[in-house]
Amino acid sequence: DVKVTQSSRYLVKRTGEKVFLECVQDMDHENMFWYRQDPGLGLRLIYFSYDVKMKEKGDIPEGYSVSREKKERFSLILESASTNQTSMYLCASTPREGGPYEQYFGPGTRLTVT
């Protein structure tokens, strides 16, 4: 079974802090994604990566950056957390070849910025 894990289920940070959200997948998938989920807005894509050190902006990249130094790990970085970044963050992965395949999701990190 594909497993996508996220470093924390719940996180509370202060405004202005630098925040790292980590995601690891164990199925050698090339593609990895970061979404945020907000009530009434569904899931919105922040960034995705289709290979190590490769990244592309999604629909709402402002205020975020990402890092992909190893194939299995995709990190989302909030350079200076703000209260409007309080949200549920979901990581996903999928193979590159063929498809599009279904995306495999992690359990999510609920981030609160105070």
Partner 1 sequence: AQKVTQAQTEISVVEKEDVTLDCVYETRDTTYYLFWYKQPPSGELVFLIRRNSFDEQNEISGRYSWNFQKSTSSFNFTITASQVVDSAVYFCALSLDQSRPGFQKLVFGTGTRLLVSP
Residue type, 14: R
Query: CB 34 → partner 1: shortest distance, Å?
Result: 12
Output the 3-class SS for 50-106: EECCEEEECCCCCCEEEEEEECCEEEEEECCCCHHHCEEEEEEEECCCCCCCCCEEC
Instruction: Indicate which single residue of 17, 26, 28, 51 sits in contact with partner 1 (rule: CB under 8 A).
Output: 51
Beta-carbon-side half-sphere exposure of residue 35 (alpha carbons within 13 Å): 17
96 binds partner 1 (CB under 8 A): yes
Nearer Cβ to partner 1, position 14 or 70? Answer: 70
Window of 18-26, 48-56, 64-72, 73-81 that interacts with partner 1 by CB under 8 A: 48-56
Which of 13, 7, 8, 9 has the alpha carbon at shortest distance from 86?
A: 13
Sign of CA dihedral 25, 59, 13, 11: negative
Window of 13-21, 63-71, 74-82, 103-111 that interacts with partner 1 by CB under 8 A: 103-111
Instruction: Indicate which single residue of 82, 99, 112, 114 sits in contact with partner 1 (rule: CB under 8 A).
Output: 99
List residues binding partner 1 (CB under 8 A).
9, 30-31, 40-45, 48, 50-51, 56, 58, 88, 90, 92, 94, 96, 99-108, 110
